[in-house]
Chains A and B, each alone.
Chain A
Amino acid sequence: MNILVVLAGVADNRYPLHQVALDSEGNLHETGQTRRILGPFDEGALELALKLRDKSDAISVHVLVLGGANEEQLARSVAAFKPDSLRILHLRPCRPWDSSMTAAQIGAFVRDDETQPDLVFIGREFGDLDEGSIPVMLATELQLPLFSLAQYAEWQGDQVRLMREKGTRREWLSCSGTYLATVTNDRRNKLRHPLMKNVMMAKRLSIETVTQNTDEPGSVRSRELAEPRAAKRQGQCRMIDGSVQEQAAAIVDYLRKAAG
């Protein structure tokens, strides 16, 4: 059984954002110290696949890492978990703000690939320019049923069961047939640490790069990148001083007023 994990990466937000710019053709240029790392949802998607593989010899985990800024380091950080295959996928052109185009490109690549997945895991958001459209559209492109916001996966006999929580319900899906699951963060899918010897091995590995070209111009054009507007909320924060008791009393007042 093949599990395909599609990873996008996000800019590490412990550091200032590297230089990003759009040229007149609407292509993205990323320069400077580009620290693209796995995002929380990438990590969840990868961990779920690894967890299923831990429990079954019949599982192969195949990973596609989206090409772009810092791709080699990003791919090496994934290699340290010893996926059964790992490739960097270049999209030409790469327009991650155009979710239809991006999903169509990834979809075309996956459809034509030699190894066909029996299960696809992808984060609920695909990288820094997506807020959840690309994974949904990829499911449609691949004509796969979608299980969104999966938090956990386990074996039940020889079937995979996926779990998510919604309101006060926990929902389980037994996968008969191929599904695409988007993964959200959860304690149960926090990415493990790789073994040091595998991290060393990953440093020397040669990583295959594949490319998906498209002639379609895409329909969502980027116009410009700008700085975010200053937050509307510039509170004149009243600092509550005094003894711990006095501070606690002031907090209680706030809570009581809010609760009505």
Chain B
Amino acid sequence: MESLMPISRIVGVVPSSWGQESMELTLAALQATCAEAVSPEVVIIGNEEVEARMNLAARSGISRVWQVETPEDIDADEPDAMATLAGEALAQVACAEASSLILTPPGPEGEELAARLAHGLGGHCLGRCLKVRLEDDRIVAERSVWGGRKLISLEVSGGVAVACVRAGKPMLTESADPVDVRKIRVDARAPAAPVLATESSGESLPPVESSKLVISGGRGLNEEGFSMLEQLARSSGGTLGGSLPAVDAGLVPVVRQVGISGKFVSPELYFAVGISGTPQHMAGISPDTRILAINKDPEAPIFSMAEAGVVGEWQELLPEVLGILHDRE
């Protein structure tokens, strides 16, 4: 095999307007991936809450941050625009020539950004990975395939590779050395975002990604069951989620779908009602979330993953639960 340059750069790319959590997730991914010989860098795109992002970067042990000042009219929700700016910025900081690993925030937007960046930089797209590690001049990535039923390990060498890794929260130190922040300006014109007509979707419960309590229903429920789950969510300060078949049945909108192809949630408690616990569903729940389950089938796999469970029918249990909550109000 030809001899190649060792991997010399590991760079996280985060649009600042994607929020503090995107930043945290990317920093955690950098920490989980980093090799001793390479000090990780971060490219922050945009001007939003930059102080807070810098502080987080410093406390995560990042030594260098590139801040990309964006034009006013840029739509930060558009991965296309973000990819153009990020690609240009990476070229300016000479990442595009080096052998480097770029990490984008986990989640659908970050994955789209990763694919576009890889394409734009003529690099390798590793997509959503469970783990990425460096082996000399190679990047080795592990991905979950066939709906979690196999693992594949992939390898690339030379050039730029782009990946997303979900590694939880970064380890933070109390105080940290100041980061070396360099501002860069990019001249690239981002492509015009398509014009979208928007209206309210009528969702009034909090988003499923950021709630401390997620109350979730599956194929075992019907509309009546979901209406009880919604009441439960409202009276207990939680929010509503569901499995893919529940979404397909129109019981809950797809923005609340939890799983491999839905949202990743990390509440304190996940209350799963009429959900069997398939790998594709469980892939959307943080390993440190506690699970409480109701299922009529004592053999349902969810019970082997839950902290507590009730074998029973929701038709009997949910009205009682709601009754108790109402009495206490």
Contact = CB atoms under 8 A, between A and B. Distances in A.
Q: Is the interface of B mostly helix, strand, loop or mixed?
A: mixed
Interface of B: 79-80, 108, 111-112, 114-116, 118-120, 124-128, 140, 143-156, 159, 194-204, 207, 212-213, 215, 232, 236-238, 244, 247-250, 253-255, 257, 260-261, 267-269, 271, 278-280, 282, 287, 290-294, 303-312, 316-317, 320-321, 323-325, 328
A148 to B, nearest CB: 6
Among A20, A168, A171, A236, residue most surrounded by chain B Cβ atoms (within 10 Å): A168
A146 interface: yes
Task: Name the 3 nearest CB pairs between A and B, nearest first.
Answer: A187-B250, A258-B269, A248-B320
Given A17-B146, A132-B112, A169-B198, A226 B247 contact: no
Nearest to A161: B197
Most A-side CB within 10 Å, residue of B127, B207, B255, B293:
B127
Interface in A28-59: 40-41
Given A132-B115, A169-B198, A185 B244 contact: yes
A240 B280 contact: no
Contacts of B293: 237
Contact of B321 (A147, A219, A232, A248): A248
Contacts, number: 264
A233 B278 CA distance: 13
Given A100-B119, A100-B124, A172 B198 contact: yes
Contacts of B261: 40-41, 124-125, 131, 184-185
Given A133-B115, A235-B305, A222 B247 contact: no
A132 B111 contact: yes
Given A254-B269, A258-B213, A244 B150 contact: no
Nearest to A223: B153
B127 A40 contact: no
A255 B146 contact: no
Interface of A: 10-11, 13, 17, 20, 40-41, 97, 99-100, 124-125, 128-133, 136-137, 140-141, 145-149, 151, 165-174, 184-188, 190, 219-229, 231-240, 244-245, 247-252, 254-260
B127 A132 contact: yes
A60 B324 CA distance: 57
A225 B112 contact: no
Given A254-B308, A258-B269, A11 B146 contact: yes
Given A220-B124, A245-B320, 10 more contacts: A129-B152, A132-B112, A141-B119, A173-B194, A187-B249, A235-B306, A237-B307, A247-B317, A249-B324, A252-B328
A240 B306 CA distance: 12
10 contacts: A129-B145, A140-B120, A147-B194, A168-B200, A222-B155, A228-B151, A229-B151, A233-B291, A238-B307, A258-B267
A258 B320 CA distance: 19
Given A165-B254, A234-B304, A222 B282 contact: no
Contacts of B294: 251
A128 B147 contact: yes
B247 A228 contact: no
Nearest to B206: A168
A137 B115 contact: yes
A200 B292 CA distance: 46
A237 B116 CA distance: 43
B156 A149 contact: no
A13 B280 contact: yes
A224 B152 CA distance: 6
Contacts of A219: 124, 156, 159
B131 to A, nearest CB: 10
A231 B195 CA distance: 43
Contacts of B155: 220-223
A60 to B, nearest CB: 25
Given A148-B108, A227-B151, A235-B307, A132 B124 contact: no
Contact of B317 (A145, A223, A248): A248
A255 B233 CA distance: 9
A147 B317 CA distance: 42
Contacts of B249: 187
Contact of B305 (A184, A234, A251): A234
Contact of B128 (A132, A172, A245): A132
B201 to A, nearest CB: 4
Contacts of A171: 196-198
B254 A151 contact: yes
A8 B144 CA distance: 17
A17 B147 CA distance: 10
B111 to A, nearest CB: 5
